[in-house]
Amino acid sequence: MKTKGMNDAQFLALLEKVLPKATPDPRLASAIYDRVAQEVRLINNLKSFEKFCTEGSLPDLEPATVEGFRDQIASNFANAQVSVEPTEKGDSVAVEIVLPDRTISNKLKVIPPGAEEAEEVKAKFVPFPVALPEDPGLFWILARRENVGPDEAGIFLSNVEQEYWESKAGQKAQKDRVEKSFAEFMQRVPAAALADRGLKRHYKDPEPSKILHRGPVKAAEATAES
């Protein structure tokens, strides 16, 4: 017979019941109960905070909005120092909660009203394998957004490669004697640089093309069955 686990209220009720039996000191029993109840509330508040940082957002970076969000967090975490600071890009805020025994850091996105709908209608990714003319049997497994055609995606990819080698990271790599090749570019290019052009890298390493020999496989299966 399977039984469901206790919820927090049931656990605290059980603890309140057994503590007087475990210790004859009512003050100690009360202190233990209060400390455990406080920790349970803290765990639940942390879970809610992490979930909100993953799924929620702020509508803007107005001082009143940021301060209101900070006050809301502070009210959920007693005796904690809370700071909420906009990031450099302005697309999120960095949140830090300093508790007596730990420090919690996270980020919350800033999404203006109406921007969520625009994000939802983004075209999905479709396969976009790429091979070089000098080695047509070796493929880099990429993806492109459905509204970006293969030719256009190829141009975008070439542009991203050129921009990477001209960037500070690309220049440093060349100074460190890294070969200026497509393979090294695919290993090193930031995912965000590709995403800005509607591209995605599934694997950094190339894969050889696979030729499927269907006839011999069927013959082998027939031999095995007999």
pTM strictly above 0.85: no
What ranges do the domains of the chain cover?
8-112, 122-208
**CA distance to 27, 38, 72, 183, 218, per residue, from 35 (Å):** 12, 5, 23, 56, 69
**CA distance to 63, 86, 97, 142, per residue, from 110 (Å):** 13, 9, 19, 29
Task: Name the pLDDT band for 128 (thresholds 50, 70, 90).
Answer: very high
Q: Is the pLDDT of residue 218 over 80?
A: no
What's the confidence (pLDDT) of residue 44?
Answer: 87
